[in-house]
């Protein structure tokens, strides 16, 4: 039985508008993410079909499913890497249609990538600083001529970067090139960089991939810690069922682009449709 | 700033700047003294001035290629518009210091304007459009110069431009320009530009307005190419369209690639060597293109990242190592400036 953080103890999932469930503690507020009937086609292939999901303001949500189910594609739709064919996404009550990726980041969404995308030949610290892309007003000339604004920004970003790196014990590696980090640290750095933009919703695409069980366990604690500390919602894609069942409050199961089940970990674990989807995958191997 | 490595003593940023500024001023005064006292002959002085101008051309191109990761092929075009703009202004103004400064700024601004006009449409598109569009731009500028003899003097050239590019003017301009590019790159804006080179999608997803920063880097690159063009105009005193051909653009690109994409020190060294060689060795010029081809192939085979890779020389880093007693130890941490 995984140990739950303070918040989880009281957390019960309650239905909202008949569209989905969110944690009871978030029920008074509108959901951070409200996705309705999202579809996307790649040529003839419907990679995501009629995807409807609500995520509460401080929820840890899981998106699972067999390989090729369309999970990463959902993240790409949420961050406007792809344009949906149909449907709409409300982030914090705001329609994300037509927004560029960096505008969405400003609106409060940050993500990591399944295939790590760090700024490999920049230092760990600089990777994090790139994430701090808003809230600073020093202009190009201020920085070129080293006016007071530059000194202020550099100091603020430096202090903040080390604070964030410290959450994942990466402070000692601040001056290392990101490309030289071991694999697990690269995954952690991606999370730190995403946090640097102060998101309201953090999307993690297979954060535990390539980690050993003890690293994964530490990661679970860290994800809960992030939620508690920053009061944010986290949506994660993961194949590691211990992690998903251990920390997610609401889970959606995707198969061939469609949601085949939504519910609490308990409900998902005992859902025959889910079991079949996974067993079917096992049998096919 | 703060110590990220315990026990590693660091020189404060302001002191680094002071040391560098003092050193460069000394070099400037020294160089000027040698030249003023007749320590070098005319030919040698010409080489020294040309090296300065090509250093700025290479360093400015490096902003777009090395830092931003694009491949512009029309750097000579920006150099040309800067050169002609400054030349025309200088011809109309009295020979005063303020006019010199004004001409250099105008050269840069006009080039930057062209950079914006080309960069905004070209950089919004994904893919390698920039190479093709800048290639076209370089040629169009040359053709325009030929076909607007009323303004540009046409093929015979624009004559009797005041020769403002003295040693001090060239090297103060080059040093200031390099310093400004350096300080830009060592700021949140510079990091955004590098992030685009490293991974555009991740940069955009991290909140970097990639279109803005691409255009910015491109315009900065064009600006300093324009300034270098102005220096060139004030150095030769006569401008012809033949000065700004596609080969000129390629020449500058070769310097940047040989020096190491993204390394300012590399660009400077490569620019100095590749400007000096043809002037020193007559036979070099004949085989120039062959030698360049061989050099480029050799670099691609043996050191694809160029002479210095992304390494940037930093005096203060060496001083820091010295005061920490690890001058000759391999750094356990990254010792790179813009990388
Ligand atoms: N840009 C694209 N163009 C065409 N097809 C795509 C594109 N992106 C994804 N697909 C297809 O959409 C389907 C879903 O892919 P997706 O990457 O979302 O799966 P996933 O659930 O993340 O799988 P995994 O667990 O392996 O990461 C796959 O069949 C994939 O081939
Ligand atoms: Mg995936």
In this prediction the ipTM stands at 0.92
Asked if residue B3 has pLDDT above 50, the reply is: no
- A84-108 residue pLDDT tens: 999 999 999 999 999 999 999 999 9
- A117-165 residue pLDDT tens: 999 999 999 999 999 988 899 999 999 999 999 999 999 999 999 999 9
HSE-up of residue B235 (Cα within 13 Å, Cβ side): 26
- Please give the CATH architecture assigned to the domain spanning A25-108+199-285: 3-Layer(aba) Sandwich (3.40)
| Phi, psi for residue A243 in degrees, rounded to 5 | -65, -50
Q: How confident is the model at residue B284 (pLDDT cuts 50, 70, 90)?
A: confident
Asked if residue B130 has pLDDT above 60, the reply is: yes
Domain spans, chain A: 25-108+199-285, 121-198
Chain B neighbors of A186, CB-CB under 8 A: none
Chain B neighbors of A159, CB-CB under 8 A: 2
**Average pLDDT along chain B:** 88
Interface residue A119 vs chain B (CB under 8 A): yes
Q: How confident is the model at residue B40 (pLDDT cuts 50, 70, 90)?
A: confident
Helix boundaries (H) for chain B = 13-36, 42-62, 75-92, 97-124, 129-147, 149-152, 167-185, 188-198, 200-205, 210-236, 246-259, 264-280, 282-286, 288-302, 315-323
- B44-70 residue pLDDT tens: 899 999 999 999 999 999 999 999 999
- Mark which residues 189-228 of A lie under 8 Å from B by CB: 193-194, 196-197
Interface residue A174 vs chain B (CB under 8 A): yes
pLDDT at B4: 47
Q: CA angle, corner A194, sides to A191 and A196, nearest 5?
A: 110
- B147-159 residue pLDDT tens: 999 999 989 999 9
Asked if residue A203 has pLDDT above 90, the reply is: yes
Domain spans, chain B: 14-246
Chain B neighbors of A102, CB-CB under 8 A: 204-210
| Phi, psi for residue A236 in degrees, rounded to 5 | -130, 145
Instruction: Compute the distance between CA of residue B67 and CA of residue B198 in angstroms, rounded to an integer.
Output: 9
- For residue A266, the SS3 value is helix
Instruction: Compute the distance between CA of residue A199 and CA of residue A196 in angstroms, rounded to an integer.
Output: 8
Residue to mutate among B206, B217, B261, B262, with most A CBs inside 10 A, is B206
Q: How confident is the model at residue A63 (pLDDT cuts 50, 70, 90)?
A: very high
Output the ligand 1 site: residues, CB below 6 A: A 42, 47, 65, 67-73, 114
């Amino acid at each position: 039985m995984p140990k739950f953080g303070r918040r989880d103890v009281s957390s019960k999932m309650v239905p909202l508008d008949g569209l989905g469930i969110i944690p009871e503690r978030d029920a008074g507020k509108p959901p951070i993410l409200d996705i309705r009937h999202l579809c996307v086609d790649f040529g003839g292939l419907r990679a995501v079909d009629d995807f409807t999901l609500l995520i509460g303001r401080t929820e840890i949500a899981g998106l699972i499913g067999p390989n090729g189910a369309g999970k990463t594609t959902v993240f790409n739709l949420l961050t406007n890497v792809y344009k949906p064919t149909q449907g709409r996404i409300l982030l914090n009550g705001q329609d994300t249609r037509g927004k560029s990726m960096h505008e969405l980041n400003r609106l409060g969404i940050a993500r990591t990538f399944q295939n790590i995308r760090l700024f490999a030949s920049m230092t760990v610290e600089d990777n994090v600083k790139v994430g701090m892309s808003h809230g600073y007003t020093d202009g190009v000339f201020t920085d070129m001529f080293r006016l007071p604004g530059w000194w202020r920004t550099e100091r603020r970003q430096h202090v903040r970067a080390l604070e964030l790196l410290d959450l994942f014990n990466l402070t000692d590696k601040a001056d290392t090139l990101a490309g030289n980090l071991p694999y697990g640290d690269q995954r952690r750095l991606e999370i730190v960089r995403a946090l640097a933009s102060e998101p309201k919703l953090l999307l993690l695409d297979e954060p535990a991939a390539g980690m050993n069980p003890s690293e994964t366990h530490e990661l679970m604690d860290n994800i809960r810690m992030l939620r508690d500390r920053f009061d944010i919602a986290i949506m994660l894609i993961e194949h590691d069922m211990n992690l998903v069942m251990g920390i997610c409050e609401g889970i959606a199961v995707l198969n061939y682009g469609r949601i085949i089940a939504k519910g609490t970990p308990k409900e998902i674990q005992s859902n025959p449709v889910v079991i079949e989807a996974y067993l079917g995958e096992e049998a096919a191997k | 700033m703060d110590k990220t490595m315990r026990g590693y003593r660091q020189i404060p940023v302001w002191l680094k700047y002071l040391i560098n500024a003092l050193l460069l001023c000394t070099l400037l005064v020294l160089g000027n003294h040698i030249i003023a006292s007749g320590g070098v002959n005319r030919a040698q002085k010409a080489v020294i001035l040309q090296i300065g101008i090509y250093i700025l051309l290479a360093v400015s191109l490096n902003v777009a290629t090395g830092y931003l990761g694009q491949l512009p092929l029309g750097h000579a075009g920006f150099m040309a518009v800067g050169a002609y703009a400054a030349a025309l202004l200088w011809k109309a103004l009295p020979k005063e210091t303020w006019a010199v400064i004004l001409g250099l700024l105008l050269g840069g601004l006009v080039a930057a304007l062209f950079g914006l006009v080309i960069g905004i449409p070209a950089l919004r598109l994904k893919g390698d459009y920039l190479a093709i569009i800048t290639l076209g731009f370089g040629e169009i500028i040359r053709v325009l110069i030929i076909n607007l003899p009323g303004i540009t003097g046409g093929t015979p050239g624009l004559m009797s431009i005041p020769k403002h590019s003295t040693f001090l003017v060239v090297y103060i301009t080059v040093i200031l320009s390099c310093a400004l590019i350096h300080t830009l790159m060592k700021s949140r804006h510079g990091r955004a530009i590098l992030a685009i080179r490293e991974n555009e999608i991740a940069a955009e997803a991290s909140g970097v307005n990639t279109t803005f920063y691409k255009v910015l880097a491109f315009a900065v690159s064009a600006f300093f190419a324009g300034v270098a063009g102005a220096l060139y105009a004030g150095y030769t005193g006569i401008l012809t369209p033949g000065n700004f051909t596609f080969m000129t653009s390629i020449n500058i690109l070769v310097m940047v690639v040989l020096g190491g994409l993204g390394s300012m020190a590399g660009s400077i060294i490569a620019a100095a060597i590749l400007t000096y060689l043809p002037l020193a060795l007559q036979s070099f010029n004949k085989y120039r293109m062959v030698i360049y081809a061989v050099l480029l192939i050799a670099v691609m085979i043996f050191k694809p990242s160029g002479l210095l890779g992304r390494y940037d020389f930093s005096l203060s880093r060496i001083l820091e190592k010295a005061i920490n007693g690890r001058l000759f130890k391999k750094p356990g941490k990254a010792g790179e400036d813009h990388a």
